Structure formats: C-alpha cells, structure tokens
Structure 1
Amino acid sequence: MNSPFELFGLTLNISIAISFLPALLAICALTFSLNRSALVLALMSLVFAYCFAIVDVFGALGIINLFAMCYGFNYFRYMAIQWILGLGIFVFSVLFFVHVFPGFNNPLVIESYLVSENAVPFSKHLNFDKLMVAIALMALIVPRSDFSQCKEATKVFAVSTFVVLFGLAGGVFSGLVQWDPKLSPILMGWVITNLFITCYAEEAFFRGFIQTQLHRGLRKYHMGQWLTVGCSGILFGIVHLPGGIAYTIIASLLGVGCAYGYQKTNNILVPIYLHFAFNLMHFCLFTYPFLA
C-alpha cells in the first residue's frame, strides 16, 4: 500500500495522498468561501494523517488547539480574551511554520533536485503543519470582501506588477539568480506545494491575521494605513533574513506589495496570487532557488 510512486514530480505513496488530498481540497473550498466544507475536509485530513502517522497525538492536539483558538478569537469580543487567544494563535502558527512543534512527520516529496544546472539542489516537504495554519486562519479568522467591487483595482494591479518585476530584477542585480527560462518536469508538483501550502499559509498569517490586527491598532493614527502596510511588509522580509540581506530586501518589497494589495481590497486572494505570481516567474524564468 505504501510503495512510492511519482505524481507531478512529487514522490508520494498512498498514505500521503490520502492524508493530504482532503486538506488540499479544503484550500480549494476556502478559495470559494466554502468555509464549513473546508473545516469538514480538514478534519478528514487530520484523521487520515493521524492514522498514517504523519501526525501523532501531540501534533493532532496542537492542530485542534489552533482551530479552537481561531474560533474563540472570532467569537469572543472581550479585548483581554482576544489578546490571549491572538497571542496563542501567533505562537502556534510560528511554531508550525518553523516545524518545531512536536508531533509532525512532514514527508519529503522532492529531494535534492537540480531545477537549474547552476543552482543549489532543491528539496521540498509536504508540510502538514503549515497547511493546517492556512486552513484554520482562512476558515475562521481572515475577512474577505469581493475584489470585483474594489474601486482601486487598477492601482493594485500597477503596484503588483511593479513589485514583481522590480523584485525579480533585484534578484538578478544582486547575484542571487540569473536568467534561466525553463519548463521543469517538477513544475506541476511545485505549483501544488507552493501555491496551496506556502502562499496560502504565509499570506493568511502575515496579511490575513497580522496585518488585520495591525490595521485595527494603527488606523486611528495619522498615516496609520501606510504604517500598517510598511510594518507588514518589513516583518515578512525579516523572517527571510537567514537568506541574506539581498533576499531580505526583495522579500520586504514583495511583502509591501502584498500588504498594499490586501489593504486596498480586503481580499486575501489578492496577496496570495501576487505572492504566487512572483514565485512562479522566479521558478520558470530564473535560477531556482538560487545560484550555487
């Protein structure tokens, strides 16, 4: 049952496929605001992941606590309770993101693959912990308005285009990457993991959760919305500091662009797909992930 097979460039087995498929479908459901369906699918995914030892009892309890805190944060209106639950959500999300919360066995699905001949080898895990953060935040906390009703869609598109192009150019001029157009055999697998796990989770956390709380705290101040955008973008850059100064600056620029798009539209899908567009162009047109 657990003999490995390759699908879309990912090395999987039946237990991995069964465990992750409902969670990925939950992300799709959330894209169309089907929040209750997403929660049911997430529960199914957790049960399968526990049965197949992708999570153990500690990991399962951590996920249940995260979802409970997200529900409470949205339900209770007392400021003190919201602060406590918000801090808990922040801590749990960070621990899940950096994969130090006990109880997770995230499967390695791409190992030391040379996407570009002159790049460092690329490896990828299917991060069940990070995927659960995306579902919990988007299903229970992150607000969303209709982007089609946004009166500043043209400005958002212009800023987004500038951020993507300037950020990629910065990667070239800083020596992180170089021009390398390609159609990689692992493209579809990379798209699934990068869009549905990386981009959804990071934008739900940095924009949907952190930026929303920053906006609530700073909106009464002069230039409050711009402080919110700047803080959200810089915080996103800071967490990329292990990649070096140039990488941090580019990530900060991308973060500011995503924060601006979210601030103007209040639709989490805008920064998600801006983030993904940047990553996709990097993957397809430039050295990936970085020059060796």
Structure 2
Amino acid sequence: MWYLLATSLAALSLNKSLAYLMLGLTAFLGWKQSILDAPALLVIALIVIGWSVVEWLRNKNNKYTYLVEGLCVVIAVALVLHAIPGFHNPKVLDAVVVGPQSIPFSMYFNMDKAVVPFFLITCMPTLFVAKPLYKPGKVGWGILVLAIPALLLLAVALAG
C-alpha cells in the first residue's frame, strides 16, 4: 500500500487521472489494512470529488471554484495538524536511541500528510504545467548549488 501511495504521488506530475485512481486504490487498501476508517475515507473521497468539481468549474470562471479551493486548503491544514480522525498511522520506529546523549524518538508512516499534495494540486492545477516566469542562467544555478553547502557549514559553525 505504501509503495502505491508513493507511486500515486509521483504520478501527480505526469498523469493526474492515474494519480487519483491510484489514490483511490491506496485508500481501499488502507481501509482493508485498518489504517483508514470512515472519516479518512470521506476525506479522500472529498479530494477526488473536489478535483472533479474544480476541473469542471475551472473554464466557467465560477465563484464556486474559489469555495472548493478554499475548502481544500482548510482540509489540507487540518490533515497536517492531524485534526481529522480516521487515520491510524503505523509506528515504524519506537523509542529508538541513536547515541548515549540522545532522547528516544518514534517515527510513524503518516498517510494523512502524504495525501496533502492531492489537495494542493486541486487548488493549483497548473503546479506542474506552468512555465516559469524567470529562467535563471548558469550563474544563478551556480549560486544555488554553492548556497546549500555554505548554509549547512554556517549552521554547523554557529551551532558549535
């Protein structure tokens, strides 16, 4: 199920219909594996319905498009904050201690956070297809490549 979810996220940039189909299949598998309950399935159904409504209303310049997009943003924020019930995220690591002075930590596979990009693509359908307004040259890319290690070194130097 987790590989299918990752594949559906990767497919968002290539074929949205296929990505949403795989999301539905992932939701079904999550329900069968007791990772998702009815509220979570309802949220995932809202994603697919919201995407369909936004695509249908997009060319009509309708005020309801903004309502659906706003609802998608609210639900995405609620998912990030774990405010929507029905997601039983499995624990992958439990009380792992990395070193003698580290505190134990746990890690979960969060399906609710992995679903957020589907809401965002509903709000911004041109996310993967819009042309950039500015094309950086070789100097801009060089600065970006050098900035990453420079910022990491600065963080290490400041932290001690």
TM normalised by structure 2 equals 0.77
Q: 1:119 to 1:43 in 2, by over 3 A?
A: same
Larger Rg, first or second structure (1 or 2): 2
1:111-190 counterparts in 2 under 5 A? 111-115=94-98, 118-138=101-121, 141-145=125-129, 151-152=135-136, 154-175=138-159
Q: 1:22 to 1:67 in 2, by over 3 A?
A: same
Report the equivalent of 1:21.
Answer: 3
Report the equivalent of 1:237.
Answer: none
Report the equivalent of 2:41.
Answer: 60
Task: Give the secondary structure class of the aligned counterpart of 2:9.
Answer: helix
**Larger relative helix fraction:** 1
Q: Given that residues 73 and 119 in structure 2 are in contact (C-alpha distance below 8 angstroms), is that contact kept between their aligned partners in structure 1?
A: no
1:37-56 counterparts in 2 under 5 A? 37-56=18-37
- Structure-1 separation of matches of 2:146 and 2:105: 28
Q: 1:153 to 1:127 in 2, by over 3 A?
A: farther
- Structure-1 separation of matches of 2:56 and 2:138: 35
Q: 1:24 to 1:85 in 2, by over 3 A?
A: same
Q: How many residues are matched?
A: 155
- Structure-1 separation of matches of 2:39 and 2:94: 27
Q: 1:61 to 1:146 in 2, by over 3 A?
A: closer
Deviation at 1:146, TM superposition (A): 8.7
Deviation at 1:62, TM superposition (A): 1.2
Task: Give the secondary structure class of the aligned counterpart of 2:12.
Answer: helix
Tell me the C-alpha RMSD between the 2 structures: 2.9
Gaps of 5+ in 1: 1-18, 179-292
- Structure-2 separation of matches of 1:48 and 1:136: 20
Q: Given that residues 35 and 89 in structure 2 are in contact (C-alpha distance below 8 angstroms), is that contact kept between their aligned partners in structure 1?
A: yes
Instruction: Give the letter aligned to residue 96 of structure 1.
Output: L
Gaps of 5+ in 2: none
Q: 1:172 to 1:41 in 2, by over 3 A?
A: same
Instruction: Give the letter aligned to residue 126 of structure 1.
Output: F
Deviation at 1:54, TM superposition (A): 0.6
1:30 has 2:9 as partner = no
